[in-house]
Amino acid sequence: MRKRRAGWIAMLIALASASSATLSHADKTFMEGGYITAGFPTGDWGKIAGFGLGLENTDVLHDSEKALAFRSSLGLHYNFSRTESVPQANLAPNSQLELETKNWSLFFGIGPEFSKPSGDVHPFIFGTAGFDTYWTKSELSGTAGGTPYSAKHGDSRIGFAWSAGLGLRRHLGEGIQGELSAEFRSGSGHQFILPDEVTGSGTTVNASRDSHTTNQIIVRFGTLFGS
């Protein structure tokens, strides 16, 4: 499994390098930008993860006369701590449990971008494929059958991730563009606990990390430099 993951990560990096070399050879132009990102978890991830903030770097290689460009992004994202209660119906009498979750993630993706090639305002759409690395801390705590209970259920792993989004870029000056964009980002293989999957009997608590998709809506605002 580790060899397979390392293989496709190396392939993505090689693809990024090859794309850069090809576009540079074809005398294309290059833009690089820095962004502040906001994350809004959805799906199963939205049941336990808090609002997110992050920083991201994006490179765009393009031809000013063509709609097609290549885009690569590397970002660090933090989902703030969030606490959710385990349904009382899942637990034994005289029991009360809460699940606290917080998470760091490192994302890389590369893919095509299509934009309006001329004018001061450039609407665009894009898609990327790459990986997301998760460092998740989850703690289940409270009482089970009247007895204090606490257990940690963290997860650290790397998994395949993809995104699709749209946005607008506007010229702010010579070689400077502002960007506002949004994307749906989805990662696979992330293992975490959901409150409604926790059960208890007496002082025994049953909780296991299952594999889920990690979906978020990412809103991005930043500035790109280049021609």
pLDDT single digits (tens) 111-145? 999 998 878 899 999 999 999 999 999 999 999 99
Q: Residue 7 has what pLDDT?
A: 52
What CATH number is associated with residue 188?
2.40.160.20
With bands split at pLDDT 50, 70 and 90, how would you rate the model's confidence at 170?
A: very high
Query: Is the pLDDT at 22 greater than 70, yes or no?
Result: no
pTM reported for the whole predicted model:
0.84
Over the chain, what is the mean pLDDT? 89
SS3 80: strand
**Alpha carbon 180 to its chain's center:** 17
Alpha carbon distance 112, 44 (integer Å) = 28
Query: Is the pLDDT at 5 greater than 90, yes or no?
Result: no
Give the 3-state secondary structure percentages of the chain, helix then strand then coil, rounded to 5. 15, 65, 20
Question: How many domains does the chain fold into?
Answer: 1
pLDDT per residue as tens digits for the range 40-76: 999 999 999 999 999 999 999 988 778 999 999 999 9
In this structure, are residues 161 and 132 in contact, taking their beta carbons and an 8 Å threshold?
yes
Alpha carbon distance 72, 70 (integer Å) = 7
Q: Within 13 Å of residue 166, how many CA atoms lie on the same side as its CB?
A: 2
143 is in which domain, residue-wise? Answer: 2-226
